[in-house]
């Protein structure tokens, strides 16, 4: 019994340390961008050793990804984005119009969470390590689009003109381009749109694609 307790305590301590590191890294990245955070400054600010950072999360690219994933999810729960209620609820919509409204709200929520981080990371140029990170999240975004559009095709259906495999692939490409973070940044941060404005615009654009 004591051994089981010790293992549980150790796991909880490791989880708490990881959370402390991620929270500290979030603040450093938002304040100083990618160049403003090193493993040394992160360790000092989080009051742990650099080796603890490496053991808990990894090097600087892994830390940045951990921060991004946490901001994207909005919590520390081990639930895939495609399994979260906000995502799965899209497929309770009675028609495509209802789906695009729900999907636009989902995309707006995600952008509102991670846009400050992406802006801070890219504000002063992008080095090779950060380029790899940005490529990774773009691939993940395409995967998310594929999950959403596949669910739409399966549960609600698509117009005949895009129901073919080639048409579906073009749809994925178009949606992936439409929901790019840059569009959100241009409209919300640079042009002063509200998140509601963005979601209404996006729903309209998605509706055209799916008509």
Burial-class residue 34 by CB neighbours within 10 Å (0-12, 13-18, 19+). buried
Interval 152-174: pLDDT, tens: 999 999 999 898 999 999 999 99
C-alpha 27: how far from chain center: 17
Q: What percent of the chain has pLDDT over 90?
A: 76
- Conformational region of residue 79, where left means phi above 0, alpha means psi within -120 to 50, and beta covers everything else: beta
pLDDT band at 11 (very low <50, low <70, confident <90, very high): confident
Return the CATH fold of 2-59: Arc Repressor Mutant, subunit A (1.10.10)
Q: Residue 81 pLDDT > 80, yes or no?
A: yes
CB of 66 closer than 8 Å to CB of 47 = no
Q: State the pLDDT at residue 5.
A: 53
CB of 121 closer than 8 Å to CB of 32 = no
Q: State the pLDDT at residue 185.
A: 93
Task: Parse the chain into domains and list their residue ranges.
Answer: 2-59, 79-209
pLDDT band at 2 (very low <50, low <70, confident <90, very high): low
Q: State the pLDDT at residue 171.
A: 97
CB of 172 closer than 8 Å to CB of 145 = yes
Task: Name the more confident of 129 and 39.
Answer: 39
């Amino acid at each position: 019994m004591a051994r089981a307790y010790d293992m549980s305590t150790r796991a909880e301590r490791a989880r708490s340390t990881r959370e402390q590191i991620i929270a500290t890294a979030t603040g450093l990245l938002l304040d100083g961008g990618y160049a403003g955070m090193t493993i040394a400054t992160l360790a000092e600010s989080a009051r742990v050793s650099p080796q603890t950072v490496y053991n808990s999360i990894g090097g600087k690219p892994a830390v940045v990804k951990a921060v991004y994933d946490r901001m994207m999810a909005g919590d520390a729960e081990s639930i895939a984005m495609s399994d979260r209620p906000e995502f799965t609820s899209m497929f309770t919509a009675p028609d495509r119009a209802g789906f695009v409204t729900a999907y636009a709200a989902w995309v707006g929520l995600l952008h509102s969470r991670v846009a400050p981080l992406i802006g801070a990371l890219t504000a002063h140029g992008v080095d090779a390590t950060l380029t790899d990170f940005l490529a990774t999240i773009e691939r993940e975004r395409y995967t998310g689009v594929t999950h959403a559009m596949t669910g739409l095709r399966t549960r609600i259906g698509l117009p005949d003109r895009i129901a073919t495999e080639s048409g579906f692939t073009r749809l994925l490409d178009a949606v992936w381009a439409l929901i790019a973070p840059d569009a959100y940044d241009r409209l919300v941060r640079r042009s002063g749109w509200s998140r509601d404005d963005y979601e209404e615009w996006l729903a309209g654009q998605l509706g055209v694609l799916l008509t």
